[in-house]
Amino acid sequence: MSHTVKILLLGSGELGREFVISAKRLGALVIACDSYDDAPAMQMADAREVFSMLDGDALRAVAEKHRPDFIVPEIEAIRTEVLAELEAEGFTVVPSARATQMTMNRDAIRDLAASELGLVTSRYRYAKNLEEVRAAASHTGFPCVIKPVMSSSGKGQTTVREEAGLEAAWDYAVANMRGDRSRVIVEQFVDFDYEITLLTVRHSAGVTFCPPIGHRQERGDYQESWQPTPMTDAAIAKAQDMARKVVDDLGGHGLFGVEFFVKGEDVIFSELSPRPHDTGMVTLVSQNLTEFDLHARAVMGLPIPDQIRARPAASAVILADRDSASLTYSGLAQAMEGGADIRIFGKPTSRPYRRMGVALATGPDTDSARSAARSAADRVHIGYGD
């Protein structure tokens, strides 16, 4: 069988799984990579490679073995200097090696946004030890947020309300860092009305925006998301302008998840991921083209609509509560009775608070969709055999 393109996917979690499905529908051949076998995306892909993406020699060896048309990172913890070398040698990195390098570390993308592009951000400083954390907190004031410059899904993040909490927050950030850099960002706590993800697609014909996605977090990790979230035209315009500036600077083609805090008409840049975003799982039911479809199209140079609309919809995560390598799922029929949909990610092991699936629902408005999604998620039961 012939294929349109060959894609090397770096990271094979639930977002990678959905991306593989979208890419396969367009005729791509996908090699899924991760540090453990039988990861969710591997179950859908044509081939798999098991290695640490922080092992530069292994990363290069896999790229040279498969000679893909596109190298598509799905995680942050990658030896990005090797991606830059591969790009210089003729490989295409999505959206670009520079984008993966800038966004792997919160300090690089924050400095780009605040210092070079002039985007509105909170006050912040970096620290690489507890003494510097204390100095940074005196600059930002309390409450402040402390998080590793490199982590995934909000891990290692703490809101600190007084000086006595700084040491525990530093210890927690260090324990949850990814990569090999013991550095945190200490930033002013923004008393926002709500926070959004603006899915932004940079493609061969320009930039296209999805309707804004609202979301709620616990422990720094997304718990539910909904789309569209109410925003004034002025606030949407500010968010779109900032998102366009940063994705145009990063370059390349693909979908970016750009996060903002919103306070009244004020819009404050928070973070950016150069790939599909976990809060964008809601697009599996809200949009005719999901975030994964849009990413695949942009990567492969296929057309992206000028306008993307969303029906009121919501997602709610299904979490594990313990460590196990023997998992069963029940309650799916009951969860679906009200019209909700369930996606089980197929992760081979669980741990406390690990996302194992997601409930998806639509409704006449986002409030009713959120209620339906949460109710469906609550009805799914995870069984542990060990």
| Catalytic (active-site) positions | 152, 154, 259, 271, 278-279, 355
Checking 176-180 for CB contacts under 8 A at 24+ apart, the result is 176/148, 176/151, 177/148, 177/150, 177/151, 178/76, 178/77, 178/148, 178/150, 178/151, 178/152, 179/54, 179/77, 179/104, 179/105, 179/150, 180/54
C-alpha to C-alpha distance for 298 and 92, rounded to whole angstroms:
13
Nearest to 297 by CA among 359, 353, 253, 232: 253
End-to-end CA distance of the chain: 42
Contact 300, 26 (CB under 8 A): yes
Cβ–Cβ < 8 Å for 371, 359: no
Q: Where are the beta strands (DSSP E) in 94-230?
A: 124-127, 144-148, 158-160, 184-188, 194-203, 206-209, 213-218, 221-227
Query: Is the omega angle on the peptide bond into residue 276 within 30 degrees of 0, that is, cis?
Result: no
67: left (phi over 0), alpha (psi -120 to 50) or beta: left
290, 307, 298: which is closest to 253 by C-alpha? 298
CB 139 within 8 A of CB 122: no
3-state secondary structure of 344: strand
